[in-house]
Structure 1
Amino acid sequence: MGIRHLRTLAMIADSGGFSAAAERLFITQSAVSLQMKALEEEWRITLFDRTTRPPVLNRHGWTLVHRARALIDQYDALRASVHAAPSELIGSLRIGVVPSAAANLLPRVLLRLRDVHPGLTIHAESGLSAELMFKVGQGRLDAAVVTAPDRLDIGLATELIRQEELKLFAHDDLVLPDVDDMLAKRPFIRFSGAMGVGRIVNEALHSRNVKVNAILELDSIEAILGMVNLGLGIAILPEHSMARWRDHRLNELSLDPPVRRNLVLVARREYVELPAVGSLLETFRSVAFDEGP
């Protein structure tokens, strides 16, 4: 099995069929078919459902696609590293980042990595913690920055980036002397329970036996802060959420006892020791440290 066959398989998945893959690879459709037949014969497995026209990838085919992409990336990185300086990383990384970290940390992380490792290409996407961890497990992402999960699949490993305190954000007009009174009496803008932070907030409110008057549920920190800034309600968010806001009327209040979340990098166990993943982790840690406790 050659790397060329795996590239063709990945292109079929990306383009949607044999014909489109052939056009993008500048080869004939019959050449694509022959390469896929050779793969199936070597692996002694059927990769496509040929009862439909055009043929489509079956379950075995998609499984091989995910693994093939990882091998292609590693092959390209190995090939490029032959010509790289000893300390320079070459290749590509596919990463996922939860929205809170994408807004506050990711831009500076990408800037530093570009300066230190110009030959390292980062493909980043934003999503929910559970979704990103699933993609890491499937090999569709090399690593992801997520809220630490309660349970971790056996093939994955996590490394701590930082621990963040979740704080109550409120406009001057909605501040009361007692935080619990604020939670009970003021309109509450809930962070989506599908998000890792939202889950922690919901658990904290439940443990305090606090019933909030939730008027909205959103999955964007920027949108929630925009609502809070207008005095439409209060919200519990990671402490660094206000880093880019400069409105003195916005208040950041601690809960008692404090509520915290761990921001971690998750990767497959065999990827944790890769130099590119290690550099990504240390860069996130460095940027988070510069932002302050």
Structure 2
Amino acid sequence: MELQQLRYVVAVAETRSFTRAAQQCHVVQSALSHQVAKLEREIGARLFDRTSRRVVPTAAGEAFVPAAREALEAAERARAEAAAVSGVVSGRLRLGAIPTVTALDLPSLLRDFRDAHPRVDVSLRTDGSEELVARITTGSLDVALLGLPPGRVPQGVRSRVFGRDEHVAVVAPDHALAGENRTDLATLAPYPFVDFTAGTPGRLQTDQAFAAAGLERHVAFEVTTGDLAARLVAQRLGIALLPGAYAATLGGVRTVAIDDAPAREEHIAWSRYRPSPAAAAFLELVGLDTPLG
């Protein structure tokens, strides 16, 4: 069993096509098909059901592919660890971030990281804080930038707070509050809201603030990104509460400061286990001294 065979199997599973897998791996299809068939003979099980229209993993394939991915990641980690001994950081950095992160300028940070470590490839995923933490604990992410209510600590990972921001009201340009300098939660409560999905950290910050003030509100639209929330606000479908620094980057809306505004803390989180050389280099770049064990 060779690593290249594992790469071919994973590519076929991801693309559901021998043709697209061959293109992704930069080989001719006949060579890829031959190596997959050779591996199937070696392990004594068919990994894919092939029809004229699609390729679907068999039960054996479904069991094999996750282990193949782990083997490829382990091989890449071993290669990166060996290179790091001689001072060369290589491999892949798997980075996650909430879409509304502002305490770190992520594009310029990645530019500096690339300048310092040109042999590291970076995969960047945006998602909610809970999903990103879960991916760190399962090993599919190295580092993530999160947004959580004040005092809340992500579980199962190491983390550090690196920023804090208060929310502002986001309203349409012709909204009754658009010309105000400041407002408060009591004034905002009667309006329909656009907010994040119930139960998520992004929603929890605002829910807790209204509950603490003894106020009720109606969330008319639930969304998964701040950008979409702003677009709905611009269409006069409701108002939103978003972190001030992030809201300042949005077009087509107005922002109003809130006297009793909810707040959020931005965290950087990473695995409890030894970071890869690429992850350790990224954490060092943002000023974190991480234990290796």
After TM superposition, the score normalised by the length of structure 1 is: 0.71
**Is the contact between residue 167 and residue 255 of structure 1 (CA under 8 Å) also seen in structure 2?**
no
Give the C-alpha shift of residue 237 in structure 1: 1.8
Residue correspondences, number: 271
Give the C-alpha shift of residue 122 in structure 1: 0.8
Q: Which amino acid aligns with 1:189?
A: V
Within-5 A mapping of 1:212-223: 212-223=217-228
Report the equivalent of 1:119.
Answer: 119
Closer, same or farther in 2 for the Cα pair 1:158/1:183, shift >3 Å?
farther
Give the C-alpha shift of residue 178 in structure 1: 5.5
Closer, same or farther in 2 for the Cα pair 1:30/1:234, shift >3 Å?
closer
Q: Structure 2 CA distance, aligned partners of 1:249 and 1:283? A: 35
Closer, same or farther in 2 for the Cα pair 1:183/1:106, shift >3 Å?
same
Report the equivalent of 1:274.
Answer: 276
Give the C-alpha shift of residue 91 in structure 1: 2.1
**Is the contact between residue 99 and residue 220 of structure 1 (CA under 8 Å) also seen in structure 2?**
yes
Closer, same or farther in 2 for the Cα pair 1:20/1:188, shift >3 Å?
closer
Q: Which amino acid aligns with 2:100?
A: S
Closer, same or farther in 2 for the Cα pair 1:278/1:204, shift >3 Å?
farther
Within-5 A mapping of 1:11-22: 11-16=11-16, 21=21
Give the C-alpha shift of residue 18 in structure 1: 5.7
Q: Which amino acid aligns with 2:127?
A: G
Closer, same or farther in 2 for the Cα pair 1:3/1:65, shift >3 Å?
closer
Report the equivalent of 1:261.
Answer: 265
Q: Structure 1 CA distance, aligned partners of 2:91 and 2:253? A: 44
Give the C-alpha shift of residue 127 in structure 1: 1.9
Q: Secondary structure at the match of 2:164?
A: strand
1:144-200 deviations in Å (ceiling 9; x for gaps): 323357763xxx423224242342324584148751322323343323336421233
Q: Which amino acid aligns with 1:238?
A: P
Q: Structure 1 CA distance, aligned partners of 2:182 and 2:94? A: 46
Q: Structure 2 CA distance, aligned partners of 1:248 and 1:28? A: 52
Q: Which amino acid aligns with 1:222?
A: D
Structure 2 gap ranges (5+): 289-293
Q: Which amino acid aligns with 1:212?
A: R
**Is the contact between residue 93 and residue 123 of structure 2 (CA under 8 Å) also seen in structure 1?**
yes
Report the equivalent of 1:101.
Answer: 101
Q: Structure 1 CA distance, aligned partners of 2:281 and 2:213? A: 40
Report the equivalent of 1:289.
Answer: none
Q: Secondary structure at the match of 2:214?
A: coil
Question: Over the residues paired in the alignment, what is the CA RMSD in angstroms?
Answer: 4.0
Q: Secondary structure at the match of 1:100?
A: coil
Give the C-alpha shift of residue 224 in structure 1: 3.2
Report the equivalent of 1:291.
Answer: none
Q: Secondary structure at the match of 2:101?
A: helix
Asked if 1:193 corresponds to 2:194, the answer is no
**Is the contact between residue 93 and residue 122 of structure 1 (CA under 8 Å) also seen in structure 2?**
yes
Q: Structure 1 CA distance, aligned partners of 2:37 and 2:105? A: 45
Q: Secondary structure at the match of 2:125?
A: strand
**Is the contact between residue 98 and residue 145 of structure 2 (CA under 8 Å) also seen in structure 1?**
yes
Asked if 1:70 corresponds to 2:69, the answer is no
Closer, same or farther in 2 for the Cα pair 1:113/1:206, shift >3 Å?
same
Asked if 1:179 corresponds to 2:184, the answer is yes
Closer, same or farther in 2 for the Cα pair 1:188/1:47, shift >3 Å?
same
Closer, same or farther in 2 for the Cα pair 1:110/1:120, shift >3 Å?
same
Q: Structure 2 CA distance, aligned partners of 1:252 and 1:14? A: 46
Q: Structure 2 CA distance, aligned partners of 1:232 and 1:35? A: 56
Matched residues, percent identical?
20
**Which of 49, 61, 65 lines up with 2:64 in the alignment?**
61
Report the equivalent of 2:291.
Answer: none
**Is the contact between residue 18 and residue 32 of structure 2 (CA under 8 Å) also seen in structure 1?**
no
Closer, same or farther in 2 for the Cα pair 1:146/1:106, shift >3 Å?
same
Closer, same or farther in 2 for the Cα pair 1:242/1:168, shift >3 Å?
closer
Give the C-alpha shift of residue 57 in structure 1: 4.9
**Is the contact between residue 9 and residue 65 of structure 2 (CA under 8 Å) also seen in structure 1?**
no
Report the equivalent of 2:7.
Answer: 7
Closer, same or farther in 2 for the Cα pair 1:170/1:146, shift >3 Å?
closer
Closer, same or farther in 2 for the Cα pair 1:62/1:205, shift >3 Å?
farther
Q: Structure 1 CA distance, aligned partners of 2:16 and 2:79? A: 23
